[in-house]
Structure 1
Amino acid sequence: MSLPRADYDPRRVCLNPFPHLHLGKHRRTAGIYIAGALFAIANWSFLDAAIYSAHARVPWEEEPPVHVTFVDWIPGICSLLGYLVVVLIDKDRIKGDDGFGDSRAVWRARLFLFIGFALMAGGLAGSITILVLKYVLGNYPELFKYYGYANVTQNILLMLSAIVLWMGQSASGEYEYNLTL
């Protein structure tokens, strides 16, 4: 049996800490802007596929073989709901800081955080399932597989945006001061 490391804190979840990224005094602002850009690219990629599907014309047939339907929208809706849940949770409640007297508040915040990430993971799994079952196994030309790729791209970028926004909001701002004695 080995002895615990000297800097081991039993309250930590991960044994190895995340790398410290030094982005200067504007890291909070940069994280928020990057998360917003990822959010916009995610939703625009799927909206582009939906608009392209609605106006698609195939020269060799009268009607395209496949369209983006409501089933394709469901994973994105799940991911958006999960994104909203994750972003709206107070970070101090998750940690249990600032003297929240109700221990159930910390537990509920962690439960809602889990539900938010579960919704996003379910949206990603659903988009991959739709890509495989509807577009890949349907033997459609590569032109129509773009609809499924855009759906998966949307869900991946929404998850990345939530993670970047979480890390950006957890960073100290340029107007915050840490006073220690």
Structure 2
Amino acid sequence: MALPRANYDPRRVCINPFPGLTLGKHRRTMGIYIAGGLFALANWTFLDAAILSAHAHAPYGEEPRPPPVHVTFLDWLPGICSLLGMIVINLIDKDRVQGHEDFGDSRAVWRARLFLFLGFALMAGGLAGSVSVLVLKYVLHNYEEQYTYYGYANVSQNVALMLSAIVLWISQSVSTEYEYTLSI
């Protein structure tokens, strides 16, 4: 498929351009609200699983038996790692990561990038930990679906926390209509 010469840019990576999404002057605010919604959804999902685990019992009409598995502190650790990673990532000044030399300290860019890497490493470790907990604790033991939900909720919490951190990072990096860049 050949593109018309007027639309062709040799620097472009993709053949089909990504659609331009214009959200108007409220794009930053919308991004922050979407990130907050993802954050709330992530924590609500896992807290739902933890509350269900605390009140788990045998189905009505069957003889009472203790549930085979509960949400323990091991299940909480991946979410805590992802939450710490999200906090670290969003506390970093975006201008320092981009390498602007306005800060006076030449090592500030290096330190900012190191902390950004540590934040993403915490989030990746949280996601890997939640997948490990899901497989080792819930899937390999062939528990019923009501008990494997605890593991799936843990993984979905970490994925939603990662998406929330990315959306918040992008929306905070977007300049607003009222932001002016002055250079001399």
Deviation at 1:62, TM superposition (A): 1.9
Query: Identical aligned pairs, as a percentage?
Result: 70
Give the match for residue 26 of structure 2.
26
Name stretches of at least 5 consecutive residues in structure 2 with no aligned partner: 1-8
1:139 pairs with 134, 137, 142, which one?
A: 142
Question: Over aligned residue pairs, what C-alpha RMSD do you find?
Answer: 2.2
Give the match for residue 48 of structure 2.
48
The one-letter code of the counterpart of 2:112 is A
Runs of 4+ in 1 over 3 A off after TM superposition: 5-8, 18-21, 178-181
Give the match for residue 3 of structure 2.
none
TM-score (norm 2): 0.85
The one-letter code of the counterpart of 2:70 is H
CA distance in structure 2 between the partners assigned to 1:6 and 1:109 by the alignment:
33
Partner deviation per Cα, 1:102-138 (whole Å, 9 max, x = no partner): 1211000000000000000000000000000100001
Write the mapping of 1:39-118 to structure 2, written as runs, cut at 5 A: 39-59=39-59, 60=62, 61-97=64-100, 99-118=102-121
Deviation at 1:174, TM superposition (A): 2.9
Give the match for residue 12 of structure 1.
none
- Give 1 or 2 for the bigger CA radius of gyration: 2
Please state whether the residue corresponding to 1:87 is helix, strand or coil. helix
CA distance in structure 2 between the partners assigned to 1:99 and 1:179 by the alignment:
13
Partner deviation per Cα, 1:24-73 (whole Å, 9 max, x = no partner): 11111010000000000000100000011001111344211100000000
Deviation at 1:7, TM superposition (A): 5.6
TM-score (norm 1): 0.87
Count of residues in Structure 1 that have an aligned counterpart in Structure 2: 170
Name stretches of at least 5 consecutive residues in structure 1 with no aligned partner: 9-14
Q: Which is worse superposed, 170-179 or 41-50?
A: 170-179
1:120 and 2:129 are equivalent in the alignment: no
